[in-house]
Structure 1
């Protein structure tokens, strides 16, 4: 080929590479692609100093450990799928979550709960696997008021069978009369645009992927929904140890792993058997469910904050609503619960931002303690600011990590 033609061809290829949308989406190490949503939220904020500061923030936007991908980027991508994890990393999540449970043959996989396959995968569309569900699909019956239901557990199937499934957006239609209708129940504020072929992940696969994406790990040991010991001798302790053993086998430093559990016994087991991991294990707060814990009444907290600290707990993971309240002026402020946790020397990691859907009517579970102060989507950033600056959370779970990444970058957080 004549040299002039070679130069022209090389020039053209260079230009194609520069202009290619795929090439343009490749971020440099540490960079984040936050998209339009954070700016939309800023535009929807109430006027004030915080809005003014955030509206002037144009980047650069960087990966931050403050930003945790809750099940990945579950606002738009099927939770705990390869696509969801990848999206979270691109949005700058410095830490990504795999909820860990086990299959019939004791292999660890990423699912929010052991028995959610009917609402988060296509299992009901695979007849031979649907037949193995703990409770096969039952249609709704308007005459009796019965709602449609199904219960399909990872422990009902083997790892090989699990691999045959695809992920979908979490949701179900309680009025369904067919399995296909039952699976078509995505909440209106999410989307099925990216849910046609969500790739399920084993725990080991999630470790390899998240490491390749340059992020850290927060695996949650999910409470079994089958009697333990399972299958004769698979105890809770073996299950808890197996989860951490996967990181050891992969050569992941304990400092990069934030192991979680709603079971205090799991945390204390790690304190005794894996202190290097327990140093930043997260005790997920559920005393409000089991004990009727009141965020404003320390006497209801069993064990107390001081007792948790003395037992070896370093990080507490409460829902947003438990950490916030309203003062006499109707302003969002830290709750007594949050102040007591910090006073006891406990770090806080909150869950989960952007989980309630649109906030125009005050939000749902996650904002219930400050509902009267919430009336627009922009209040997401107001809540986040109180959690970061006044409560002092060290990190936040979010269903759309671009929001927490944006905030962390704009506020100079790591």
Structure 2
């Protein structure tokens, strides 16, 4: 890991940010911070706690087992320079840019094409009138609402926006108030002065940080083709930006929930296709991790398409045995049998786990009642399911575990 200051990094990247705008936050040295130890302290006594406690004195090391999910958005605005610097400092060896496109068909890092109303200040900016659905205040029992898309504005306009923590106050009666609503388990302490990125800028930043790349091509909110821009054009443009930057295909894990997109890469960009990742989540409420008849595509079918990496939501790979213990699901077992390399998403996304963990842990809710269960879940994913990487909103949690177990 290079020991570079934030100001130096920004100066080295084509971000259009002057040194006067970028404070020097010190060298990029690896740190676990306090959170892994906070979680370990909360664990019940047993072999896993003993193992993790025995590693307290270890030196943090970067690992590709630890993947920054939008950077480190538990506390930093997602898909910003600062969020990814935080993830790199926590030892994430792979960093993510979710890829969307602007009105002039330029690629930018956003979790969704239509999230600018919750992830930036657009509804309260000079660009507010360009939103697909401008801000509407809460009134007569109806919540406040808005929808602002990257495709509503040009790249130049996008870069004038101020990123913020992903949230909206649906009780708001003004656009400024709508920018609030941040969950109590997150913070706005690190949002001031954060910087948005284009996809190309994320490539430059991640390369400078010594990390590998996992860009996710997001399904558009607009009808495709968009002004002649097809899905194939979109998928190809993303890959072409890695080629233009001289990034070897072996360092890129291109991902998508769209099976047609992943197959496009496998068939048209075979070197990148070798590490293309098919992201999966249940298609409806009838999905059961133990019942193959409810799966849209079996792992064997996916492998038969030439896809080598599969990334299911955490709960898809886990279930409870007769004793109530967390164990691999039938879906996970069949994926391993098919020879697929598995990646899990997304640890630390749910916030406090005292009420069962929510959507990400729905198959094992009875076994989830404290934040310490993040490590219990991670241990089963790593040791029993055999995943090769884990996305996390706070990568230090995964990095600490991976370093302790030599992953």
TM range (shorter): over 0.9
Which of residues 340, 350, 373 in structure 2 aligns to 1:379? 373
Residue range with higher mean Cα deviation, 210-219 or 297-306: 297-306
Alignment partners' CA distance in 1, 2:351 and 2:242: 34
**What count of residue pairs does the alignment treat as equivalent?**
383
Matches within 5 A, 1:210-359: 210-231=206-227, 233-286=228-281, 288-290=282-284, 292-359=286-353
* 1:282-301, Cα deviation, whole Å (9 max, x unpaired): 10003x12584321101222
Alignment partners' CA distance in 2, 1:284 and 1:245: 21
Q: Which has the higher helix share?
A: 1
> Match of 2:349, SS?
coil
Q: Is 1:363 aligned to 2:357, yes or no?
A: yes
Alignment partners' CA distance in 2, 1:245 and 1:398: 27
Larger Rg: 1
TM-aligned CA deviation for residue 305 of structure 1: 1.5
Alignment partners' CA distance in 2, 1:293 and 1:267: 22
Which of residues 31, 43, 46 in structure 1 aligns to 2:44? 46
Asked whether the equivalents of residues 168 and 197 of structure 1 are also in contact (C-alpha less than 8 Å), the reply is no
Alignment RMSD, CA only?
1.2
Runs of 4+ aligned residues of structure 1 deviating over 6 Å after TM superposition are none
Alignment partners' CA distance in 2, 1:217 and 1:293: 31
Alignment partners' CA distance in 2, 1:289 and 1:176: 33
TM-aligned CA deviation for residue 196 of structure 1: 1.8
Which structure 2 segments of 5+ residues have no match?
Answer: 1-23
Give the structure 1 partner of residue 153 of structure 2: 157
Give the structure 2 partner of residue 119 of structure 1: 118
Which structure 1 segments of 5+ residues have no match?
Answer: 1-20
Q: Is 1:405 aligned to 2:387, yes or no?
A: no
TM-score (norm 2): 0.92
- C-alpha change, 1:259 and 1:220, in structure 2 (3 Å) is same
Give the structure 2 partner of residue 132 of structure 1: 130
Q: Is 1:63 aligned to 2:48, yes or no?
A: no
Asked whether the equivalents of residues 283 and 296 of structure 2 are also in contact (C-alpha less than 8 Å), the reply is no
TM-aligned CA deviation for residue 22 of structure 1: 6.2
TM-score (norm 1): 0.91
Alignment partners' CA distance in 2, 1:43 and 1:345: 37
Alignment partners' CA distance in 1, 2:364 and 2:355: 12
